[in-house]
Amino acid sequence: MKVSDQHTDLEHFLKQVPLFSSIPGPQIIEIASCFHFSEFKKDSIIFSQGDFSDSMYIIRSGAVIIYSGKREEKNFQTELGRGDFFGEMALLSDLPRNASVKVTLDATLFYLKKKDFENLISKNRHIGLFLSRLYARRLSSGFKFREIQPKSIFYTISATDPDLGLSHFLYSMSFHISTESKKRVLVVEPHLELESVMQRFGLSIIPCPDESLFGLLPPDTYKPGDFKWFYHESGFQVLQVNKGFNEKLVPVLPLLMESFKYRYDIVIFSLAHHFKNLEQQAVRLCDKNLLLINNTRKALRDVKQKLCAIETQAGTGLDRVRVGVSHLCGSYGIAREDLKRELSLSEIPQIWVDRSDKALNDQIDTEKRFPVKGPRAVAREIAGVRIGLALGAGAARGWSHIGVLKVLEDQGIHIDMIAGTSMGALVGAIFAARGSVDHLKKYTIDLFPTRALARKKIFDYTLPFRGFLKGRKAMNLVATAIDHADFMDLVIPTYLVGVDIMKGEEILFETGDVSKAVRSSLSLPAVFTPFKYQGRWMVDGGLLNPVPVSILEQKGADKVIAVCVESPGSHPKDRTRVPGIMGVISRTISIVHGRATSGFAKKSDIVIYPDVQGFAWDDFHKGEVLMQRGIKACEEVIHEIKALVQ
C-alpha cells in the first residue's frame, strides 16, 4: 500500500475508532499525518514487559493478546482486535511497559510515537476525557488480569495422498464436534468439490448465512459467486471457494479469519494434498495443523517431505502439528511405534481412518461407538469433551471399580482414557482391552467365588525375604484376560503408575507389555515381592499416586472422574483383636494410601467414594458385594456425571 493510500485509509479508519470519534474532520487529517504504519506476523512480540515506552498502537486488522508475567507463567489480561488500542498507559505514566503484547493473527498496526502522543493529548481534551472515563470504568469493575476465553481455534487438515479418505475423516470429525459439544464449526474448502460429492456427505447448499463475513475484504477482490455455502443437519457449515479465486485469498486470508473469529468456535481449512501459496499461508496462520498420512514404507519419503514442509511453515509452538494414520492405502504398513521414531513425532500416531464401508464410500460416520476411536476420538479432543477415569489403589476393595464401570457403561458414558494405580491398574487394563464390563467381570471376580479359590488363583507364596507373594499368578491372570496385549492393542488409551523403590520415583507405563506394567503397579510392599521391569525395581504406585488424576491432566483429559476406595477409615472395623502381620500390613497400606490421596480431589470434576469400610485387603472372594458398593456409589452421582458430560 502506498504511503498516500495508507493515510487516506487511516483518516477513514480513525473516524470509526471510539478514541477519536468525537474529533472534527480537519483535526483527524492532522492526527493521521503523525501516525506510522507497520505489519506484524503471527507470534511476533510487539513489546515485552519492562521495555522502554516509546509508542501507542491502534489495530487496523488482526489480533493481539496482552499478558503479564514470565513466559512460563503468563497471566493473560485480554485479547484485542480491530479498532482497539494499547500502549498508551506507559506513555501517560512514563514507566516501563507493565505487560507484553503478542500477535495472534497477522496484524496491521498504526502507531504514534511518544512525543506526538503527548502533543495529541494536550491539544484534544476529548481524548483525555475518553481515556479517564475508560480507566475509571476499569477500576470500578475490578478490572484485573484474567485468562482469555478464546473466540475461536483455527485448524488446517491435509493429507500426503489424495486417496486416504480425508473428506470422510474431516466431515465425520466435524459432525462429532457439532453433536458432542454444540460448538459452531466451519469447514473452509479452498479446492472446489462437486455438489454431488457434497450431497453424498449429507450436505445441502444454502444461501450465505452472513454477508458481513466478507466485510473486511476489499470489494474489488471477490464476487459473491466466488463462494458457495453448504450445511449439515448436525450444525456445521462448509464454505467452498470457487476455482481460480483461491490464490486471491492468500493476501486477504488474515482478514477473512478475523471475521470468522467472532462467529465460529472452530474453523478448519481443508488443504487436501496440495501445498502451494494458499496452503502455506493457512498453515502459518492457524493454531494447529492435522496431517493424515499413509503408513506404508513406499510412501515414507513423501510423508517426511510433507511433514517437514508443514512444520517449517507452522514454526515453533506446542503441539502445532499432529499426525494420524490412514489404513485405506495398503493393508500392511509400518508399525505406529516405528512411525513415531522415524518421523521424530512427539507421540505415537493414532489411526484416524480405517477400512470401513463409510470411509470407502465417502459417507459420514455418525455412530457414537464405544470404545471411542477414529474421527470421533479426534473430534472429542478438539471439542474439549474428553472424559478421563482415574481408578485408585485399594487391593480387593478395588473390585468396587467394576461397579462404577458397570453404571457408566449402562448409562452410555463413554470414557476416552483411563489412568490406574495398583488394583485400579489391574481393573483399568482389563477393561481397556475390550471396553466391556462383562469381559472384565468374567476374568476377575467371577473367578473367585470363595476365599479358597481366591487364594489358590492369586496367592503364590514365597519365602518372605522381600514379600509374601511372587505375583506371577496375578500377572498371568491379567495376561490371559487381555490376551497378552501390548499397550498399543488396548482399545482405550490407558496409563498405569508404579514406583521405582530404589529412587523413590513415580513411573508412568504407557508402552510395552501391559501385564508386566500391571504387575509393577500392584506390588504392595511386604505383600508382593518388588518386580524388576525395564531395569527398575517396581512397587505399588499407590505409595506416591494412589488416585492418578494428575496423569489424566498430563494426557489432556478435559473432565476427570476419580474413584477412591482408600479413603481414611476404609480398613476393617474390628479393632478388638490384636492384628496379625498381614493385618498390620493391610492397615499400614491403607493409612499410607489414605494420606497420599489428599489433594487429588480438587483436581477432579467428580470423585466417587464407594463405601468399602469393613473389607480387608485380601477379600477378593467378596467381589459381588464390592461391585454392588461401586454401583451404589456411582448411581448416587450419576446425575452429576451426566451434567458433566453434557
- Residues belonging to the active site: 422, 540
End-to-end CA distance of the chain: 49
467-486 burial code (b ≥16 CB/10 A, e <16): bbbbbeebbebbbebbeebe
Q: Which long-range contacts (CB under 8 A, 24 or more apart) does 340-347 make?
A: 342/300, 342/304, 343/303, 343/304, 343/307, 346/319
Count of C-beta atoms within a 10 Å radius of residue 139: 9
What does the block give as the cell for 547?
488416585
Lookup result for grid cell 495443523: 289
Could you tell me the sign of the dihedral formed by the alpha carbons of 68, 69, 70, 76, in that order?
Answer: negative
Count of C-beta atoms within a 10 Å radius of residue 498: 33
Task: Give 611: exposed, middle or buried? Use CB within 10 Å, 0-12, 13-18, 19+.
Answer: middle
Lookup result for grid cell 506416591: 544
Angstrom distance (rounded) from CA 164 to CA 291: 11
Give Cβ neighbours of residue 266 (< 8 Å, ≥ 6 apart).
152, 153, 155, 177, 183, 184, 185, 186, 382, 383
Angstrom distance (rounded) from CA 255 to CA 478: 56
| Main-chain dihedrals φ then ψ at residue 350, nearest 5 degrees | -85, 165
DSSP-derived secondary structure for 315-350: -S-TT-EEEEEE-SS-SS---HHHHHHHTT-SSPPE
Angstrom distance (rounded) from CA 638 to CA 626: 18
Angle at 449 between CA 539 and CA 609, to 5 degrees: 55
CB 610 within 8 A of CB 547: no
Angstrom distance (rounded) from CA 114 to CA 81: 22
Angstrom distance (rounded) from CA 284 to CA 42: 8
Count of C-beta atoms within a 10 Å radius of residue 272: 17
Task: Give 12: exposed, middle or buried? Use CB within 10 Å, 0-12, 13-18, 19+.
Answer: exposed
